[in-house]
Structure 1
Amino acid sequence: PELLVLPLMLGALLLILNERPWWAFGLVAIALTAKEDVALVAVPFGLWVAWRYHRWAGLTMAAAATGAFALNFLVLLPAFSPTGEVLYTGRYTEYGTSALGIIGGVAANPVSVLGDITRADSLAYLRDMVLTAPTSLAAPVVLLLGLPITMANALSTHFYQIDIRYHYTIYLLTAVGIAALYGARWLQTRASRTAYGWIVAAVVLAAFLGLGPGPDGSAWDGLEDAAAVEAAIDLIGPDDVVSANSTLAVHLAHRTTVYRFPNPFRELDYGTPGIDYDPPAGDVEWIILDPNRLVNFAYANETLTELLADRTNPWEPVISTDGVLLLRRR
């Protein structure tokens, strides 16, 4: 549902520009129902609207978003958690162990915050995000709408939050998209038609080479060997218990039990902190992996090596290609 946040926020901006601020508030309110952390982009958006366009509508947006954030993280999420704790807090233990504690820890440790934000992987994430719409750089004040969500993603130990291929990107993409509109307008008003055309061409080329399906556009890569993958999936019965890495698990989700490898053999983003981790690993009948997706995940490679070396529960390779590895329990 968070994918709806981008069009809803852009719609709110359009209504603001057409002097319908309270209709815009309605769209922001709808966006806040998409996910518990939408406030990380809605609060700065409301403050920006209050500063630039409509004071009371903007402040109302920011207040509503702040209230929604507090309600979600201080009341609803703990109430529905099996342990009474917010599951997200495990990603920010360097700064605190509760929602309020983490906020306080971030404020009290600016050096650590700066170090996390300027890590190589965090900077690469920001580079890739900006390259989706480089004109956003011409509107740096508007681009600051993405600061809270950037901090939330960069300070997390959950590395998926700084990978543009995952849904965690949508809020920052919203801020970048809004900034890109204002940046393009700024460039248009300060450049001749010919110069503006060259600027647009340069922006498109930069995005194509840096992030699109140009040289080294790895984010656009598909399955290395689709035919072998399909053949491997066809061998797995509709009710068989399977462990697969995330790119293949989605093709096997129509069953009662499917694990994301290395679960259930090794815990990774599984279950709830404080609850014993003891899934029935012996029930897994198949393991299917994309070897190319294991290169950067030492825990997955280690688990695979351990399983193949375990003679008490031997696994038999059924298909082994550059694009897919299918193992069956003997």
Structure 2
Amino acid sequence: MHPPDKPAFDAETAQEPSGGSRSEVAWWIWALAGALFFTYTVLSLRIHERMLSNSFDLGIFEQAIRSYADGHLPVSEVKGPDFPILGDHFSPVLVLVAPLYALWSSPKVLLVTQALLIAASVMPLALWARRSLGSLAAVVIGICYGLSWGIASAVGFDFHEVAFAVPLLAFSLTALANNRFRAAACWALPLLLVKEDLGLTVIAIGVIIALRGDRRLGIITAASGVAGALLAMLVVLPAFSPTGSYAYTFWLDSPGGGGGLGDLLHKSTIGLITPQTKVTTLLLVLAPTLFLAMRSPLMWIALPTLLWRFASSNASHWGTSYHYSLVLMPIVFAAFIDALVRRRSSRSSLRRCLAGCAAITFLLLPQSPFWQLVQPATWRTDPRIAVAHKLMDRIPDGATVQASNKLVPQLTGRTSVSLHGWPTSRPRPEWIMVDGTVPQHERWPLNPLQERMALDEARSHGYSLVANEDGYVLLQRRS
């Protein structure tokens, strides 16, 4: 077997690559990353402009980053009055967004940052594919990775801290596959600052480093992952948490805590009886690579994320929605490249593999959020949006507010806003604003009847009606 860092052939010439300079291909790899950045940015900004972003999670993350920009530890009113975010998830990496937010105080800063981070992860994978498999492979793999369903699901759903993990993983796994172990470790260790569960991923990377030849560095890396994860989950998070404990122990409790052994056994049994969602997710993770990714030891690095998700009692972790598969995409595509390099296949065989990867990626594309970009509805502006902003403009900066889910991210930049109807929202805010036209199946956390009752109760306890226009209701607390 040839060393994994040596190219087997050039797919375009069927000859050993000449080892040309990187500058020969850098321009189109930059262009590919730039085109994907533009795609991600346009989609996420358009979703926000259409008022389709959410309190959970764009509102939460903007409040956390706004706190950093204001010079204090992150809190989120959406989670609860002055709720310390470092007691929920350990993501100090968010402080890196604060300088940008200080220049432009808008949730759009978060969305653009996320787009940039994900687009940047294409470059190491495409460069590795070009160097080892040829330019055709680099183009196809770069596009298929950039448009993969896991990335699309994340871009189409607000902002999340794990966006920082994507380029770190892409650079780390590229270095690891090419036996640059020190670089692999250096790119992996910052994952400990992205989210507490990524310490398990660092452990996996350390184990692979040790098995591939640098035992000492691998053990140090894995030990750092263990120490980082335990420190975050057993010390830092409980210290900041209002409950004094880590709310997601073993990722087996629903957000907000609760659970326990009985709940764990009950929900785990349900998960075993109805595994279809988990099986579908696993198949979709591997399908774009024609399951060839399983031939690479790099796929072991995906195991910690898959295990905690499938062991979780929160059913939203099992499926393909939201952002939960984002960190899997650089792993599975790095494993795909590694598997293709190891196969030493003929040019025609490689092209069949690439064609299959492209076919599955584009077959799934109409089901992904990226498809919104070619839908006319995406580019139409609902007149109600102008009405909503007109009414929100009546709320002064710095006011305390309770608002409907989709309204929260429109107010987080200049008010102290929480979610209307959420149990831990700040009581008796100065303003309440709700959207009464949200379809019943999208109403959250209150159903229509509960929302009407809550508004009636507010009016009977000192709130006056300021406006009722196009389904938007704005109340103000009387002094």
Q: Of 347, 354, 360, which residue of structure 2 is paired with 1:193?
A: 347
| 8 Å CA contact retained: 2:192, 2:225 | yes
- Describe how 1:37-186 pairs up with structure 2 within 5 A: 37-89=197-249, 92-93=252-253, 112=268, 115=271, 119-131=275-287, 134-135=288-289, 137-140=291-294, 141-162=297-318, 164=320, 166-186=322-342
What is the aligned partner in structure 2 of residue 323 from structure 1? none
* Equivalent pair of 1:47/1:59 in contact (CA under 8 Å): yes
Q: Partner amino acid for 1:61?
A: T
Deviation at 1:69, TM superposition (A): 0.8
Conserved in 2, the CA contact under 8 Å of 1:135 and 1:181?
no
Could you give the per-residue CA deviations for residues 101-156 of structure 1, whole angstroms, max 9, x where no partner exists?
98xx99xx7x937935963333343344345xx21721314323212211212333
State whether structure 2 residue 357 is matched by structure 1 residue 203.
yes
1:203 Cα offset (Å): 1.6
2:474 aligns to what SS in structure 1?
strand
Tell me the SS of whatever aligns to 2:312. coil
3-state SS of paired residue (1:126): helix
Residue 54 of structure 1 deviates from its aligned partner by 2.6
Deviations 1:42-79, CA, capped at 9 Å, x for gaps: 11122122223432222221111011111111111112
Q: Whole-Å Cα distance in 1 between the matches of residues 319 and 387 of structure 2?
A: 28
Q: 1:136 to 1:122 in 2, by over 3 A?
A: same
| Greater displacement, 51-60 / 224-233 | 224-233
Gapped regions of structure 1 (runs ≥ 5): 268-276, 321-325
* Percent identity over paired residues: 22
1:319 and 2:470 are equivalent in the alignment:
yes
Matches of 1:153 and 1:33, distance apart in 2? 20
C-alpha RMSD of matched pairs (Å)? 3.8
CA contact (8 A) 1:143 1:175 kept: yes
TM-score using structure 1 length: 0.72
**Residue of structure 1 aligned with 2:190, choices 30, 51, 61:** 30
2:450 to 303, 306, 316: 306
Q: Is the 8 A contact 2:192 2:228 kept in 1?
A: yes
Q: Distance in 1 between matches of 2:278 and 2:187?
A: 31
**CA–CA distance in structure 2, aligned partners of residues 278 and 250 of structure 1:** 15
The alignment status of 1:285 with 2:439, answered yes or no, reads no
Asked if structure 2 preserves the Cα contact closer than 8 Å seen for 1:38 and 1:171, the reply is no
Against the structure 1 CA distance between its residues 112 and 68, is the aligned structure 2 distance closer, same or farther, given a 3 Å change threshold?
same
1:4 to 1:279, Cα distance in 2 relative to 1, 3 A = closer
**Distance (Å, rounded) in 2 between the aligned partners of 1:317 and 1:14:** 56
Which of 246, 253, 278 is matched with 2:412 structurally?
A: 253
Aligned-pair CA distance for 1:287: 1.4
- 296 and 71 in structure 1: CA distance in 2 versus 1, 3 angstrom threshold: same
Secondary structure at 2:469 match in 1: strand
Q: Relative to 1, partners in 2 of residues 1:48 and 1:93: Cα closer, same or farther, differing over 3 Å?
A: same
User: 2: CA distance between counterparts of 1:117 and 1:49?
Assistant: 37
Change (3 A) 1:282 1:295: same
Say whether the 8 Å CA contact 1:135–1:183 is kept in structure 2.
no
Identify the residue that residue 76 of structure 2 maps to in structure 1: none
RCO greater where, 1 or 2, for CA within 8 Å and sep 6 or more?
Answer: 2
TM-score using structure 2 length: 0.52
Report the Cα distance in structure 2 between the residues aligned to 1:180 and 1:143, rounded to whole angstroms: 9
Q: Which amino acid aligns with 1:231?
A: A
- How far does the alpha carbon of each residue in 1:26-51 deviate from its partner, in whole angstroms, 9 at most, with x for none? 22222222222211211112212222
Query: What secondary structure sits across from 1:258 in the alignment?
Result: strand
CA distance in 1, matches of 2:383, 2:276: 35
Matched, 1:4 2:164: yes
